[in-house]
Each structure stands twice: as C-alpha cells, then as structure tokens.
Amino acid sequence: MKVTSCVGPSCGRPYQINRFSDTTIWVEPGKITCPHCGTVTEGEANAVFMTHALSAAEEAGFSASSEGAGSAEDTPAAAGEPPQE
Ligand SMILES: [Zn+2]
C-alpha cells in the first residue's frame, strides 16, 4: 500500500493505491484512477491498481507531512515514557 498525490491540477489530493499483480480482476491494467476527480495516471501495464480515498484525518496528516509542518504524531515516546529497546 502506498499513498500518492493526484496529478490533476484542480485536485492534488492524496489517495491510497493498492497494487495487484492479478490482472484478471475487473480493473483495467495499468490505470491508476484518482478516487476524488477521476484523473487517470499510467501505472505498470502488468498490474492493476485499486485506489481509495483517505479518511479526513489521514488526508490531513498526509498534507501536513508533505508540507514539512507536523510530525508530532510520529514520536509516541515523547510523552514521558522511557524508550523501549
Ligand atoms: Zn484527483
């Protein structure tokens, strides 16, 4: 699973991509479709790609991290607990 940003100029929103090598399922191979606006991006022709919109919280977190603004949620040990090996 990975998250990418839509290349659509009026969209640009992040979404999740799940890649499958089984090209017998119902999605056209090699096409990555934005779940927000429908912009299609080319992927590997020998794979199929299922896309999903992120939750609002996930999208907010992705936007924040992509701007280099906030990574506070990535440091759970900062709340006073000693680091565990
Ligand atoms: Zn889009």
| β-sheet bridge partners, residue 10 | none
Give Rg (Cα) of the chain: 17
Provide the 3-class DSSP secondary structure of residue 81: coil
Instruction: Please state, rounded to an integer, the average pLDDT across all residues of the chain.
Output: 82
pTM of the prediction?
0.69
Measure 11 CA to ligand 1 centroid, in angstroms. 5
pLDDT score, position 50: 92
Q: What is the DSSP letter of 79?
A: G
**Distance of alpha carbon 76 from alpha carbon 72, whole angstroms:** 8
Model confidence over 45-64: pLDDT tens digits? 999 999 999 999 999 998 88
Q: Find out whether 13 and 66 touch, Cβ atoms under 8 Å.
A: no
59 contact partners, CB below 8 Å, separation of at least 6: 13, 14, 53
Model confidence over 69-82: pLDDT tens digits? 444 455 554 455 66
Measure 80 CA to ligand 1 centroid, in angstroms. 40
